[in-house]
Amino acid sequence: MTRFALTLEFDGTPFFGLQRQKDGPSVQQAVEEAAQRVTGEDVRLHSAGRTDTGVHALAMRSHMDIAKAMTPYRLMEALNAHLRPDPIAVTACEIVPDDWHARFSCTGRSYVYRIANRRAPLTLERDRMWQVGTPLDHDAMHRAAQALVGLHDFTTFRSVHCQSDSPVKTLDRLDVEREGDEVRIHAAARSFLHHQVRSMVGCLALVGMGRWREEQMAEALEARDRQALGLNAPSHGLYFVSATYPGDA
């Protein structure tokens, strides 16, 4: 049995998230079915993170165990052939030690959230950015975001359906930048709560619109109450960017 680490890129628009779902298609199901057709084996995909319906990934790290003798390149090419026409691509594949685990060995995860700050309808980026027509003060958003960096109880920014044992997380980075009409929010941590990034982005957008004072981000955090949440940003602007592991450069 050989353990292969995969890097997946996908457009989350047609999927009910990464994990297998009872009521709709998922990225995991598509990859596992492609692997079954390639190897003839029942293969289980494990991934660094879970994504909601409509969330995208630039480089999701995953792994699967395969008994059939294959080179990483051959496996990658075969999976990509069988994944068509689903918007999923295996962009890298390598053999890793048996104790390497895409989820449990992961020491850091990063996301980016993309906002189209314009009134004109989206065409090329439709379903890939959150469109906000009201002008956003990205500098105010960035200043407000810094209140969330560090070790905190993120109950306010946690979904009621979150399965994490604790709402306490350490947020390593939450930066807001603008390039033309696009506002990007970068978030990095060892792990995140369910809906944490989208909830933080929604409240930062309220700051950017002038509907919240900058200090209200800290006040919402300190409330430790989901009722204090101002807005949960839609899923289609969120991208899983990268996962890091011990020994990575």
List pLDDT tens digits, range 154-206: 999 998 888 888 999 999 999 999 999 999 999 999 999 999 999 999 999 99
Backbone Cα Rg of the chain: 19
Instruction: Decide if 226 is inside a domain.
Output: yes
In the chain, pLDDT over 70 holds for what percent of residues?
A: 100
pLDDT of residue 161: 82
Instruction: Decide if 249 is inside a domain.
Output: no
Domain of residue 126: give its range. 108-244
CA pair distance 232, 202, nearest whole angstrom: 5
Q: Catalytic site residue 52?
A: yes
Instruction: Decide if 102 is inside a domain.
Output: no
pLDDT of residue 21: 85
- Checking if the pLDDT of 243 tops 90, the result is yes
pLDDT of residue 228: 92
Are 140 and 211 in the same domain?
yes
Task: Please report, for the domain that includes residue 49, its CATH number.
Answer: 3.30.70.580
- Checking if the pLDDT of 249 tops 80, the result is no
- The residue annotated as part of the active site, out of 11, 23, 42, 52, is 52
